[in-house]
Amino acid sequence: MESFSKEVEEEMIKCSRCGLCRAHCPVFEYKGRESWNARGRIFLIKALLDGKLSVSEELLDRIYSCSLCKSCDEACPSSAKVSDIIKDVRTSLAKTGIGPLEGHREMARAILTSGNILGEKVRLIDVVPTVKTLPDIAPTMLFAGCVVSSSYPNIAEALIRILRKAGYDFTVIKDGENCCGKFLDLVGLGEEFSKLVGNNWKILSEMKIREIVTICPLCYSAFAHSLPKGESFSVQHSTELLLNLLDEGKIAFNRRLDANVTYFDSCHLGRYGKIYDAPRSLIEAIPGVRLVEMDKSKELSRCCGGTVRVPYFDIRTGMSEAIAKSAKDAGADYLTTACPTCYHNLRVVAFDHSLTVCSIEELVGYSMGLIKQIPK
């Protein structure tokens, strides 16, 4: 494997091997073995560079099972950016043709051929009824993302109803979005990601869009961190926009929900996007709701495992299980999230814990009387 950039080498050196990442690595929480922890991964990468170990299937598992959630980055006393190191290794592996894994390649092919990570071209106008009512041209683009378009159009429906009620001037790409490509970036295919996000910027630019609102935190991360030079776009996550509308008095929450609600911080909205308070402020503004926090939240929240679901289904389920258990221990009736991927993964495990998983958009839509009930 080729050596790293100087910056990444410096990050490697910062790891003092103290092991405090054991307390926060969600993959380690599930696996309980040192090689599946941030410290173990650093040991292995260093051994790979020093020639003490060579690439093997088992070693690749440790490299690609890291969900890049950044929990270790937050917990690391010497501020080593472990997620940057892992990403750099994945980039090197991709350059030499060793990585990414076959499952990742399939997903990459799906993205490149269909424009959607799930492999099927979806036209929002076909799956979200209110899309028909939106104008063709508007200054703001609501970007739904692959998971919402394919699997959870109910989230987009709720948000569109809310924004229309607020009188917000926006539209969507009715004939079908093209994936932002963030997933490719995470598995080490940075160049492919740059092309995809670049194409999206071109389309948005041609449509004279000035503001992008995303539902998916990965899309948020993709757009917010790749702003084209010389052009002034603003990128907002839906929870930020909803809170602004609430503060400006353009939306109001009238319907009560007498329940304990907890909020799960998505990695890409929280640790990557530093947005922790907007979703919580929205939840607390709903009459009757009591916001309860899980044992780990905000900077140190767990990860649902969505980014490692392929090919590590078991790890994803184990990681999501830990969140559901924590939500139940906190006394929550509802487990909310502002990320469609987390939404999907948490729904897989919530039933066993008698929890209702819902999105912030659904919760707000319900409280505004725009949707009849929160789907279970």
Partner 1 sequence: MQAEVANIVKRIEEIVGQENLSTELIERFCYSRDFSFVDVEPEVMPDVIVWPTLVEQVSQIVKLANQYELPVVPRGAGTGEHGGAMPIRGGMLLDFTKMNKILEIDQENMTCLVEPGVVLDRLDFVLSKDGFFLPPTPASSGACTIGGCVANNSAGYRTVKYGSFRNWVLALEVILPNGDIIWTGSSTRKTSSGYDLTRLFVGSEGTLGIFTKIRLRIHPLPECRKVFLAFYNNLDDASEAIVKIMASKIFPSSAEIMDRMSIEAVARYGIKLPKIGGMTIIELDGGEKDVMERLELVKDITLQCGATETRVGASAEEDAKLWRARKSVTPAFASIKPNVIDEDIAVPVTKLPELFKRIEQLSEELKIDIATYGHAGDGNLHPDILFDQRNPDEVKRAIMAVGKLREITMDLGGTLTGEHGIGLRRAQAMTMEHSDKEINVMRLIKRALDPNNIINPGKMYL
Give the integer Cα–Cα distance in Å for 292 and 167: 32
H/E stretch holding 234 reads: strand 234-237
Q: What's the closest the beta carbon of residue 14 comes to partner 1, in angstroms?
A: 5
Could you say which residues in the range 21-80 bind partner 1, by CB under 8 A?
21-23, 32-35, 39-40, 43-44, 47, 52-53, 56, 58-59, 62, 75-80
Burial class (CB in 10 A: 0-12, 13-18, 19+), 268: buried
Q: What's the closest the beta carbon of residue 58 comes to partner 1, in angstroms?
A: 5
All residues at 6 or more sequence positions from 96 whose CB lies less than 8 Å from its CB, including other chains? 1, 2
Question: Between residues 15 and 267, which has the closer beta carbon with respect to partner 1?
Answer: 15
Q: Quick check: 16 binds partner 1 (CB under 8 A)?
A: yes
H/E stretch holding 356 reads: strand 356-359
Q: Quick check: 18 binds partner 1 (CB under 8 A)?
A: yes
Q: What's the closest the beta carbon of residue 356 comes to partner 1, in angstroms?
A: 26
Q: Quick check: 152 binds partner 1 (CB under 8 A)?
A: no
Q: What's the closest the beta carbon of residue 40 comes to partner 1, in angstroms?
A: 4
Question: Between residues 72 and 197, which has the closer beta carbon with respect to partner 1?
Answer: 72
Q: What's the closest the beta carbon of residue 281 comes to partner 1, in angstroms?
A: 20
Q: Quick check: 331 binds partner 1 (CB under 8 A)?
A: no
DSSP state of 168: -
Could you say which residues in the range 295-314 bind partner 1, by CB under 8 A?
295
Question: Between residues 99 and 340, which has the closer beta carbon with respect to partner 1?
Answer: 99
Q: Quick check: 14 binds partner 1 (CB under 8 A)?
A: yes
Dihedral, CA of residue 74, residue 79, residue 84 and residue 86, to nearest 10: -80
159 touches 361 (CB < 8 A): yes
| Other Cβ atoms within 10 Å of 337 Cβ, number | 26
Q: How far apart are the first and last CA of the chain?
A: 48
**For partner 1, how many residues bind (rule: CB under 8 A)?**
33
Give the integer Cα–Cα distance in Å for 346 and 348: 5
283 touches 291 (CB < 8 A): yes
| Other Cβ atoms within 10 Å of 30 Cβ, number | 22
Q: Quick check: 111 binds partner 1 (CB under 8 A)?
A: no
φ, ψ for residue 211 (rounded to 5)? -135, 135
Q: Quick check: 5 binds partner 1 (CB under 8 A)?
A: no
Question: Between residues 37 and 262, which has the closer beta carbon with respect to partner 1?
Answer: 37
22 touches 69 (CB < 8 A): no
**Binding range to partner 1, per CB under 8 A, among 13-21, 127-135, 200-208, 276-284:** 13-21
How many CA atoms lie within 13 Å of 355's alpha carbon, on the beta-carbon side? 31
Q: What's the closest the beta carbon of residue 10 comes to partner 1, in angstroms?
A: 8
Question: Between residues 63 and 245, which has the closer beta carbon with respect to partner 1?
Answer: 63
Give the integer Cα–Cα distance in Å for 314 and 303: 14
Could you say which residues in the range 246-275 bind partner 1, by CB under 8 A?
none
Question: Between residues 19 and 288, which has the closer beta carbon with respect to partner 1?
Answer: 19
Interface residues toward partner 1, by CB under 8 A: 13-23, 32-35, 39-40, 43-44, 47, 52-53, 56, 58-59, 62, 75-80, 295
